[in-house]
Structure 1
Amino acid sequence: MARVKCFNREEALEKAMQAFWAKGYEATSVQDLVDCMGINRGSLYDTFGDKHKLFLEALDQYGTGSQLRTDVLRQVGDPREILTKFMYVFMQKQVADPMRRGCFMTNTAVELSSRDDECAERIRVFFEDMEMGLTDLIARGQQEGTFKSRRDAGSLATFFIGVMQGIRVVGKVNPEEAVLRPMVDVALTVLDGE
């Protein structure tokens, strides 16, 4: 007789993602996962395959959640207001994170992307999607005259991705708003330069 799974797959995946995000891939043991997910090893392997497959699903889950947050970049409205709010909300998330986790994708890029092609591809797609949203918003702001900069919108978007990841990395060491806010303030001035 087949065993019935007595856990919610999505909740278990969320718990695994949180564990990987807090500790990284290598430092998170299968026992850590079993403990935090509230399932036994057999259920973990039957449902998710192995630790690596579970990690890839956790990255996908994080990417999906982040994609929903970046949908704000595609909203109708004043491009400057949209980008300014997006950047400050992004910065505040780092300030408010008591665990100083940073960005799960950035953490994974540093830990694994040079030796794990599947992780590297997911990270590339994640940042590419964010960059496309930023590029479209900046280009619209340039067309409407909201942003004076004539620099290539894609290059400006890449710059903002770098600033955002810098906020996450610096925020892991010092998550004080007084440290991180100037990074956003200065970055936004780039849109008004020639």
Structure 2
Amino acid sequence: MKPSGKKRKSTAPVGRPRSFDIDKALDRALQVFWHKGYEGTTLSDLTQAMGINRPSLYAAFGNKETLFRKALDRYADGPAAYVRQALEEPSARAVVERLLRGTVDLLTDPRTPPGCLMVQAALACGESADPVRQELASRRAAGEAAIRRRFKRAISDGDLPKNADCADLARYVATVIHGMAVQAAGGASRKELRRVAQTALRAWPV
């Protein structure tokens, strides 16, 4: 008998398509981490909020630490996107004003947990979560460095005096922002934090 010219269809199993929306699942994970912090969040918290089981979580996002890093990226590109936008303001003072006002709006948004994910998630990290604490510290330092570079540009543009200390100014702004985050997590109102922002702007040294 001559072999048939027709090829047999492969009977190898085909990978099952994901039955959940990755973006929505990541948004839900972000909310859990934001509300409970890194160490306070369990895998059961995540799978319940995301509507998936553990194998699906591992397959789509990796382990808890990897998922948290993805949530941090989501946070930076979403709720905290105002930070990058503020750096495009035409003057150093306008940069600071938009940063502080954006921070107050984010920290007191009724649709999200109070406080800042970047600050709150690091407050209760033990030794086992040291890589996460270091990651958060690195990201906060990168944010401060971006503000410092923007102030250096302001000096070049003649917007800030040549003797302005960009490092001190950036640290001042970052400290106010982080302090407001802690206050918000403790229950400070939007009105109260706006007064803090106004005081910081009045104290703007240049």
Q: TM-score range by the shorter chain?
A: 0.7 to 0.9
Cα distance in 2 for partners of 1:17, 1:175 equals 22
- The answer to whether structure 1 residue 105 and structure 2 residue 94 are counterparts is no
TM-score normalized by structure 1?
0.82
Cα distance in 1 for partners of 2:32, 2:41 equals 7
Greater alpha carbon shift after TM alignment, 11-20 vs 161-170: 11-20
User: How well do the aligned residues superpose, as a CA RMSD in angstroms?
Assistant: 2.7
Cα distance in 2 for partners of 1:114, 1:167 equals 26
> Is the Cα contact below 8 Å between 1:73 and 1:82 reproduced in 2?
yes
Give the aligned partner of residue 174 of structure 2: 161
SS in 1 for 2:204: helix
SS in 1 for 2:188: coil
What 5-or-longer segments of structure 1 have no aligned partner? none
Greater alpha carbon shift after TM alignment, 63-72 vs 149-158: 63-72
Structure with greater helix percent: 1
1:111–1:81 CA distance, 2 compared to 1 (3 A):
same
* Percent of matched pairs sharing the same residue: 27
Deviation at 1:109, TM superposition (A): 1.7
1:54–1:177 CA distance, 2 compared to 1 (3 A):
closer
SS in 2 for 1:116: helix
Which string of whole-angstrom CA distances, capped at 9 and with x for unpartnered residues, describes residues 152-190 of structure 1?
111110111110011111112233233212321222234
Deviation at 1:129, TM superposition (A): 2.5
> Is the Cα contact below 8 Å between 1:147 and 1:192 reproduced in 2?
no
TM-score normalized by structure 2?
0.78
Indicate which of 94, 99, 112 corresponds to 1:81. Answer: 94
Structure number, greater radius of gyration: 2
What 5-or-longer segments of structure 2 have no aligned partner? 1-12
